[in-house]
Amino acid sequence: MKWASAISENPALELAASEAMEVLRRELGAAKVDLVVVFLSPHHADGYERIPELIFSHFPGSALVGCSANGVIGAGHEVEQRPALSLTAASLPGVDLRLFHLGAAQLPEDAADVDAYRALLGKPQARNLHFLLFADPFTFDTSALLVGLDAAYPDSRKIGGLASGGQSPGSNALYLGSQVRHRGAVGVALSGNISVETIVAQGCRPIGMPMMITRCQGNVLLELDGKPPLRVLQQLYESLGPQDRDLFRTSLFAGLEMKSQLVEFQPGDFLVRNLVEMDPETGAIAIGAVLKQWQVMQFLLRDARTATEDLTRLLARYCGQLGRSKPQGALLFSCLGRGIHLFGQADHDTNLFRQSIGSVPLGGFFCNGEIGPVGSSTFLHGYTSAFALFAEAERN
């Protein structure tokens, strides 16, 4: 297995593609290119349809997948608000690659219909099976797909993001082999001699203590530890310092535990979700997720410092696991709300990755929503950086 990643900011699409592919060929040498992942900014929108031809002229027979992106990551660097084309390529001996496109109407009505979801993807091999997914945010229900894939393939990693280069239905490009789609979702199922691990940094820190959901209905939180949630929030606000009170007004979230067997909780054990609505009369709070009675919940705050600390901690946890070997390639799916917008500097997350993991080929893009697991389930996130780390399964 061998990976390489390249990026070009040349505003001329043909020159950008040529520059990036020359770098890939130099780094991969004579190795056969099996997979190419492409992301390009909307500055190249007039050339979206030419991408497959340009790539196949250099890498014939490769599996091509990717999408348009409002921010592009390649060669371990982030480019936002400027023309950019990113190509990440891999030589994957012993790995089976199966490309697929899904339209909104193809999703089975019952997310628990395992056979229907397996048939939908052509029943890919089950050994070390993982999915890279890219979807159009305007024309496809990605959350429904993730529920179905988790049911059908519970041991598989699913990671990717929503295309971010367009502002309306049909304006994004989704790449699948020689085809350019503008609706639905595209993906590749990888199986065989491949390991995919994930790091999902949601960028939040806890305030107060974990509490038990004692009463709820759907996504409406009615009681926390037997108390009205708004009363809990008022008491929590009064316990905070001035800086956290300011964040409380603009950057408050709910964290839902996704590992019920734990006694002590770390920030990464919680699924971060928005507070949707509050009812002053009843003290109830609507949250952007279906709740479960007796589920542990904790309120969270998000800011640049917290996001930095969260990602640093998760990278250190990954590196500190016994027997951990360096991955051979990686992809990063980061929220449009991160990057320069949040941190005030370019290459924030990619620099942290490089400092912790080393000089691993790293591509990716800034998404309209990030796909990645928390606990044993896969979710569509916001304000998150989700990394996929690739290695040979047989050496792990």
Tens digits of residue pLDDT in 275-289:
999 999 999 999 999
Tens digits of residue pLDDT in 141-189:
999 999 999 999 999 999 999 999 899 999 999 999 999 999 999 999 9
Question: Cβ contacts of residue 123 below 8 Å, gap of 6+?
Answer: none
pLDDT at 140 over 50: yes
Residue 262 pLDDT grade (very low, low, confident, very high; cuts 50, 70, 90):
very low
CB 228 within 8 A of CB 284: yes
Report the pLDDT averaged over residues 316-333.
86
> Which pLDDT score, from 0 to 100, does residue 269 have?
72
Report the pLDDT averaged over residues 109-121.
87
Tokens of 338: 């991160």
> Which pLDDT score, from 0 to 100, does residue 7 have?
98
> Which pLDDT score, from 0 to 100, does residue 256 have?
93
H or E segment at 231? helix 229-238
Residue 322, Cβ density class (10 Å: 0-12 exposed, 13-18 middle, ≥19 buried): exposed
> Which pLDDT score, from 0 to 100, does residue 260 have?
54
Torsion of CA 69, 379, 201, 315, to 10 degrees: -100
Residue 243, Cβ density class (10 Å: 0-12 exposed, 13-18 middle, ≥19 buried): exposed
Question: Cβ contacts of residue 129 below 8 Å, gap of 6+?
Answer: 153, 155, 156, 189, 190, 191
Q: Where are the domains of the chain?
A: 2-201+308-395, 204-301
Torsion of CA 175, 180, 185, 187, to 10 degrees: -30
Question: Cβ contacts of residue 40 below 8 Å, gap of 6+?
Answer: 13, 16, 48, 51, 66, 68, 69, 72, 84, 85, 86, 165, 173
pTM value? Answer: 0.91
Instruction: Specify the amino acid at residue 187.
Output: G
Report the pLDDT averaged over residues 91-104.
95
Better pLDDT: 70 or 120: 70
Name the least confident of 6-20, 29-43, 211-225, 382-396: 382-396
DSSP state of 267: G
Better pLDDT: 325 or 357: 357
The three-class DSSP label of residue 117 is helix
> Which pLDDT score, from 0 to 100, does residue 62 have?
96
> Which pLDDT score, from 0 to 100, does residue 1 have?
95
> Which pLDDT score, from 0 to 100, does residue 325 have?
77
